[in-house]
């Protein structure tokens, strides 16, 4: 039971990192990306390869994962950032589909469909450690950085771009540079989450980095509250605890848990959009039509 | 005559078959208010968009203090000292009034602004001074979306003030303002003029034009038909006929 709870807590921390970093681009910058799982995957593969080929040092794996995911986000996101609004959603959708195929086919790097297996247990300074404390520290660090950036000049630049891009540009803000930095920061964070995920499971394959995963993380952000600090974490806790909670209900047959879960997700999202459009933690007045 | 801060020569831009701007030459002088006047569709806002880099000109040039600005992006033009307002205001609606104005002082694209705490203090002072000057200090913590119409107009002016630009392009800044607000707006413009700001405003209310401007450029069908002091331009019966839609029929 303790192992089960520790596993759930580790996954909540990792998905909390993913949701917090996605929230940074969606909630503060207004960039609706449905490709966050791509950068989660890049970090996971990079971290796994560091552990498999070099040393299973968790900090090194996280660093390399952040550089790979953050760096590749620059190459991949720059052309996509030239388009706005719903066009960016379509561009990120294309990126997600392309990346899923590449993850499946690039066997030397990703292990293909079979994935990368037997990833060694992580260490810090040569001592074997659990991923849970590392994931909690990473989550705390990312929440701290997000809060600092959000409350500072960079956060104001992002929010001004979200609210009125042309006005922000007319005040001297280099919109493309600000957006690119925000995406790189968020994707580097997602990469760290990926490395921790790979080290936690000792196995990664493309199944964890598909469109479904991107949508799940987006749902965490929306349900918790876009543009809030704690909302995405609350969303991660709720959406990861729900299947675990349902499994304990005796009147739901184990084979039907998946279907019931989907119905509850759908219902929760619909009710939320009607009664709390800004999410559980979000400001109630936001998202409502104003006169 | 005062120093020319911004000069455009023969700016032209067509949209498909429509020649929106057909060779606009315009000079903006330090400490002077130039009103762009003309009927709807004359090319006034398009001229602003060509100068600020929001639209690419098909031909023509523009310089700020002799430095060519054609081909620059809007944020690059802004950093050369050009601030503009929009007809639809484009406020940062979900930010507070203070954040709206403070954001106008922060142009660096990096995770932090240069200059440390001293520069930050200076930016804060600029923002607070802009809030005071526009009468918005008491509303500093309100969200922009919750402001009344006139307050929104003044917030867009506060952003421009805080940006410390010396060339202002204002697109219908006084439209919809009551008399008291218009007088306050006039004070803002006069103070800016005294500091040597070159102001260009698009305005349909001719009372406002007479009240605030030193010069008028009359645009029609993408061309500057006449330029001069308000008294002369507004008394021209041919221009009045065009402005009020009583255009003389061209010979077949």
pLDDT mean over B108-131: 93
pLDDT of residue B191: 96
Whole-angstrom distance, CA of residue A163 vs CA of residue B144: 11
- The angle that helices B149-163 and B116-133 make with each other, rounded to 10 degrees, is 140
Record: contact B110-A154, CB cut-off 8 A: yes
Give the model confidence (pLDDT) of A26-36 as tens digits: 988 888 889 99
Check pLDDT > 70 for residue A268. Answer: yes
Whole-angstrom distance, CA of residue B200 vs CA of residue B213: 9
pLDDT mean over B23-32: 95
- Which has the higher per-residue pLDDT, A147 or A89? A147
pLDDT of residue A283: 67
pLDDT of residue A271: 86
Check pLDDT > 50 for residue A159. Answer: yes
pLDDT of residue A90: 86
Whole-angstrom distance, CA of residue B186 vs CA of residue B181: 9
Q: Which residue of A172, A184, A226, A291 is the best one to mutate when testing the B interface, meaning the one whose CB has the most B CBs within 10 A?
A: A172
Check pLDDT > 50 for residue A291. Answer: no
Per the CB < 8 A criterion, the answer to whether B10 and B223 are in contact is no
Check pLDDT > 80 for residue B189. Answer: yes
- The angle that helices A231-247 and A2-23 make with each other, rounded to 10 degrees, is 150
Nearest to A154 among B84, B99, B112 (CB): B112
Check pLDDT > 80 for residue A257. Answer: no
Give the model confidence (pLDDT) of A103-152 as tens digits: 999 999 999 999 999 999 999 999 999 999 999 999 999 999 999 998 99
Query: In chain B, where does the domain assigned CATH 3.40.50.300 lie?
Result: 1-80+197-252
Q: ∠ CA(B116), CA(B118), CA(B122), 5° rounding?
A: 120
pLDDT of residue B1: 59
Quick one: pLDDT band at residue A287, thresholds 50, 70, 90?
very low
Check pLDDT > 60 for residue B204. Answer: yes
Check pLDDT > 80 for residue A288. Answer: no
Contacts of A149 in chain B (CB under 8 A): 111
The CATH class given to the B1-80+197-252 domain equals alpha beta
Percent of all residues in chain B with a pLDDT value above 90, rounded to a whole number: 80
- In this structure, chain A runs to a length of 291
Q: How far is CA B61 from CA A6, A33, A92, A99, B29, in A?
A: 66, 39, 38, 45, 17
Whole-angstrom distance, CA of residue A175 vs CA of residue A83: 12
Nearest to A170 among B84, B102, B106 (CB): B84
pLDDT of residue A112: 92
The pairing of strands B167-171 and B82-84 is parallel
Per the CB < 8 A criterion, the answer to whether A196 and A48 are in contact is no
φ/ψ (deg, to 5) at B200: -125, 125
- Which has the higher per-residue pLDDT, B247 or A191? A191
Q: Which helix (H) or strand (E) holds B125?
A: helix B116-133
pLDDT mean over B140-163: 96
Per the CB < 8 A criterion, the answer to whether B24 and B60 are in contact is yes
Quick one: pLDDT band at residue A286, thresholds 50, 70, 90?
low
Per the CB < 8 A criterion, the answer to whether A24 and A185 are in contact is yes
Record: contact A171-B102, CB cut-off 8 A: no
Which residue, among B112, B104, B113, has the nearest Cα to B78 in the 3D structure? B104
Record: contact B75-A172, CB cut-off 8 A: yes
Contacts of A282 in chain B (CB under 8 A): none
pLDDT of residue B75: 97
The DSSP code for B32 is -
**Could you count the other beta carbons within 10 Å of the beta carbon of residue A270?**
10
Record: contact B107-A173, CB cut-off 8 A: yes
Reported in sequence order, the residue ranges of A96-172 that DSSP labels E, i.e. its strands, are: 123-124, 127-128
Quick one: pLDDT band at residue A284, thresholds 50, 70, 90?
low
Average pLDDT, chain A: 89
The upper half-sphere exposure of residue B94, i.e. CA atoms within 13 Å in the direction of its Cβ, equals 27
pLDDT mean over A38-64: 96
Give the model confidence (pLDDT) of A178-218 as tens digits: 999 999 999 999 999 999 999 999 999 999 999 999 999 99
Which residue, among B56, B59, B38, B53, has the nearest Cα to B6 in the 3D structure? B53
Q: Say how far residue B110 (Cα) sits from the centre of its chain.
A: 28
Contacts of B108 in chain A (CB under 8 A): 153
Radius of gyration of chain B (CA): 19
Whole-angstrom distance, CA of residue B105 vs CA of residue B113: 10
Quick one: pLDDT band at residue A289, thresholds 50, 70, 90?
very low
pLDDT of residue A144: 96
The residue in chain A having the minimum alpha-carbon distance to the alpha carbon of residue B116 is A153
pLDDT mean over B33-42: 92
Which residue, among A279, A259, A195, A242, has the nearest Cα to A12 in the 3D structure? A242
Out of A104-118, B17-31, B189-203, B221-235, which region has the weakest mean confidence (pLDDT)?
Answer: B221-235
pLDDT mean over B157-163: 97
Nearest to B112 among A153, A159, A177 (CB): A153
Quick one: pLDDT band at residue A290, thresholds 50, 70, 90?
very low
């Amino acid at each position: 039971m303790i192992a089960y709870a520790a596993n759930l807590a580790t996954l909540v921390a990792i998905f909390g990192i993913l949701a917090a970093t996605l929230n940074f681009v969606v909630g503060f910058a207004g960039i609706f990306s449905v490709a966050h799982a791509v950068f989660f995957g890049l970090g996971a593969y990079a971290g796994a390869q560091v552990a498999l080929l070099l040393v299973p040092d968790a900090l090194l794996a996280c660093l390399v994962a952040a550089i790979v995911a953050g760096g590749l986000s620059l190459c991949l996101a720059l052309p996509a950032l030239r388009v706005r609004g719903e066009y960016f959603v379509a561009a990120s959708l294309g990126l997600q589909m392309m990346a899923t195929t590449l993850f499946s086919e690039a066997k030397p790097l990703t292990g293909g469909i079979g994935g990368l297996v037997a990833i060694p247990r992580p260490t810090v300074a040569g001592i074997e450690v659990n991923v849970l404390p590392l994931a909690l520290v990473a989550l705390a660090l990312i929440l701290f950085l997000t809060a600092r950036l959000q409350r500072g000049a960079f956060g104001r630049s992002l929010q001004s771009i979200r609210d009125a891009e042309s006005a922000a540009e007319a005040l001297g803000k280099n919109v493309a540079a600000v957006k690119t930095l925000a995406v790189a920061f968020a994707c580097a964070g997602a990469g760290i989450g990926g490395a921790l995920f790979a080290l936690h499971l000792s196995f990664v394959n493309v199944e964890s980095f598909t469109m479904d995963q991107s949508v799940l993380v987006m749902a965490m952000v929306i349900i918790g509250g876009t543009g809030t600090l704690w909302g995405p974490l609350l969303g991660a806790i709720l959406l990861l605890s729900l299947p675990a909670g349902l499994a304990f209900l005796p009147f739901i047959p184990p084979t039907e848990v998946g279907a019931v879960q989907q119905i509850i997700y759908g219902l929760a999202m619909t009710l939320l959009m009607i009664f709390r459009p800004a999410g559980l933690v979000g400001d109630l007045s936001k998202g409502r039509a104003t006169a | 005559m005062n120093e020319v801060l911004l000069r455009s020569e023969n700016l032209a831009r067509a949209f498909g078959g429509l020649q929106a701007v057909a060779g606009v030459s315009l000079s903006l002088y330090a400490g002077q208010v130039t009103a762009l006047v003309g009927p709807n569709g004359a090319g006034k806002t398009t001229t602003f968009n060509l100068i600020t880099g929001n639209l690419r000109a098909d031909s023509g040039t523009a310089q700020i203090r002799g430095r060519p600005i054609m081909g620059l992006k809007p944020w690059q033009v802004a950093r050369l000292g050009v601030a503009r307002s929009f007809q639809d205001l484009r406020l940062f609606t979900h930010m507070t009034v203070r954040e709206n104005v403070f954001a106008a002082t922060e142009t660096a694209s990096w995770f932090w602004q240069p200059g440390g705490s001293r520069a930050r203090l200076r930016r804060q002072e600029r923002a607070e001074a802009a809030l005071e000057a526009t009468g918005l200090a008491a509303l500093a913590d309100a969200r922009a979306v919750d402001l009344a119409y006139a307050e929104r107009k003044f917030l867009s002016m506060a952003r421009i003030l805080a940006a410390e630009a010396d060339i202002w392009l204002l697109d219908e800044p006084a439209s919809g303002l009551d008399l008291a607000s218009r007088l306050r707006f006039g004070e803002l413009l006069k103070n800016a003029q005294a500091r040597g700001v070159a102001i260009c405003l698009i305005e349909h209310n001719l009372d406002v034009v007479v009240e605030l401007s030193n010069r008028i450029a009359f645009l029609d069908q993408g061309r500057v038909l006449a330029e001069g002091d308000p008294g002369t331009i507004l008394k021209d019966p041919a221009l009045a006929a065009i402005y009020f839609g009583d255009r003389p029929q061209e010979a077949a």
